[in-house]
Amino acid sequence: MTAHKSKFSVTILGSNSALPANGRNPTSQLLNINNHYYLIDCGEGTQMQLRKYGVKMQRIKAIFISHMHGDHYFGLVGLLNSLHLLGRKMPLEIYAPEALEAIVQLQLDASGGRLQFPIQFHVLNAPDQGSTVIYNDSELQAKVFRLKHRIPCCGFLFSEQIKERTYLPEKGASYNVKIEEIPYLKRGEDVTREDGTTLLSSDFTDDPPKVRTYAYCTDTLPLKRTVEIAQGVECLYHEATFLETEIERSKQTFHSTAKQAAQIARDAKVDQLLIGHFSARYASLDQHLEESRPIFANTELTVEGKEFEIN
Ligand SMILES: [Zn+2]
């Protein structure tokens, strides 16, 4: 297995729940795979955060909205309008609950304006069990699954596309491998030359790096299903709106505590846990870590502006 050379990271744009407070913004994250950008949720002020952290927002190819609570999408129309004003022509894919399309359309229609770029709107339909593929491009595959919140809410599994095998130039040089032969070897195909000799792909290439996966689970009660779906992922984002002292409030509002997020991460045997969607009642987040780390040591807070490399 060769090391990862390609980029796979998540930048935190907003980490609070419900309302901006304690210097924290409502939920949004930017996924970067080889400089292809994807936005996950779009709380109010997301475009300000993209500006603040120097993100080239025209690079965003697709936006994934988990559910219809405002702290996860109130920033969308503002962002769309700015993309338009900045001259975007490239289509934008939006994956969201059905209700969002009419809301966006109403806001655009009321201003009499028209966007210069097409939006391709896709209604999210999570299966009762497991996950289904909703998106594929050259870099990313995204799957959707069901969470349990007051209103329908989706989780997402974001994976790199399966990569080609890694070519070993020193071995190739010793056999005079030609440039045009390399793509076949990288795809795992053997090459037979005109003189009858065969180059085995396995002699000149290494296994591709393991496909990395990021699971995004916001606004949900802790679920067995999440443990199954996020099993073995490199990085799990799980909401931790509350601490255990607020467990009753957490249940009533269909959220999770930092301890419950850690239990999910431990049971799913993930490499790293990011917690977020913090209630405005917590000025400091130290206790979230104190509650999570004894159960799952590799827990990090989703601090805004921080970029987490997934390896
Ligand atoms: Zn919610």
Q: What's the pLDDT score for residue 28? A: 98
Q: Which of helix, strand or coil describes residue 257?
A: strand
Q: What CATH number corresponds to the domain at position 234?
A: 3.60.15.10
Answer whether residue 3 is part of any domain.
no
Residue 3, pLDDT score = 61
Which regions of the chain does DSSP assign to beta strands (E)?
8-14, 28-33, 36-42, 60-64, 92-96, 119-123, 131-136, 140-146, 154-160, 166-167, 191-192, 198-199, 205-206, 213-217, 235-239, 272-276, 299-301, 307-309
135 and 196 belong to one structural domain: no
Q: How much is the mean pLDDT over the chain? A: 95
* Active site residue ranges: 71
| Whether 200 and 213 share a structural domain | no
Same domain, 184 and 271: no
pLDDT at position 4 is 66
Determine the structural domain holding residue 200 and report its residue range.
166-205
Question: What distance in Å separates the CA atoms of residue 109 and residue 289, rounded to the nearest whole number?
Answer: 45
Q: How far is the CA of 191 from the centre of ligand 1 (A)?
A: 54
- C-alpha 200 – ligand 1 centre gap (Å): 53
User: Does 1 score more than 70 pLDDT?
Assistant: no
Share of the chain above pLDDT 90, in %: 92
What number of residues does the chain have? 311
**3-class state of residue 168 by DSSP:** coil
* Sheet (strand 119-123) strand order: 119-123, 92-96, 60-64, 36-42, 28-33, 8-14, 307-309
Distance from the alpha carbon of residue 189 to the mean position of ligand 1, in angstroms: 48
* Structure token digits, residue 264: 């999910």
For the cut 70, the answer to whether the pLDDT of residue 2 exceeds it is: no
Instruction: Judge whether residue 175 has pLDDT over 90.
Output: no
pTM strictly above 0.75: yes
Residue 182 has pLDDT above 70, yes or no: yes
CA 47 to centroid of ligand 1, rounded, Å: 20
- What tokens appear for 59 in the block? 């690079």
pLDDT category of residue 18 using cuts at 50, 70 and 90: confident
The percentage of the chain sitting over the pLDDT mark of 70, rounded to a whole number, equals: 99
Rounded to the nearest angstrom, the distance between the alpha carbon of 43 and the centre of ligand 1 is 11
Q: Is residue 37 part of a domain?
A: yes
For residue 307, the tally of other CB atoms under 10 A from its CB is: 11
- Centroid of ligand 1 to alpha carbon of 5 (angstroms): 36
Residues 76 and 213 in one domain: yes
Q: Per the domain annotation, does 29 fall within a domain?
A: yes
Residue 2 lies in a domain: no
Closest CA to 131 of 15, 196, 213: 213
Q: Are residues 115 and 201 in the same domain?
A: no
pLDDT, average across residues 171-198 = 92
The reported pLDDT for the residue numbered 282 is 97
In angstroms, the first-to-last Cα distance of the chain is 13
CA dist list (Å): 39 to 106, 249, 297: 22, 29, 28
Cβ atoms of residues 269 and 235 within 8 Å: no
Is 62 found in the same domain as 188?
no
Find where tokens 């003189």 sit.
195
Q: Determine the average pLDDT of the residues in 39-45.
A: 98
Distance CA 92, CA 308 (A): 25
Q: Would you say the C-alpha torsion 223, 100, 42, 57 has a positive or negative sign?
A: positive
**Tell me: the pLDDT tens digits for 134-173?**
999 999 999 999 999 999 999 999 999 988 899 999 999 9
Find tokens 């900045």 and name the residue.
86
What pLDDT digit, counting tens, does each position of 73-100 carry? 999 999 999 999 999 999 999 999 999 9
pLDDT higher than 80, residue 273: yes
Strands 166-167 and 154-160: unpaired
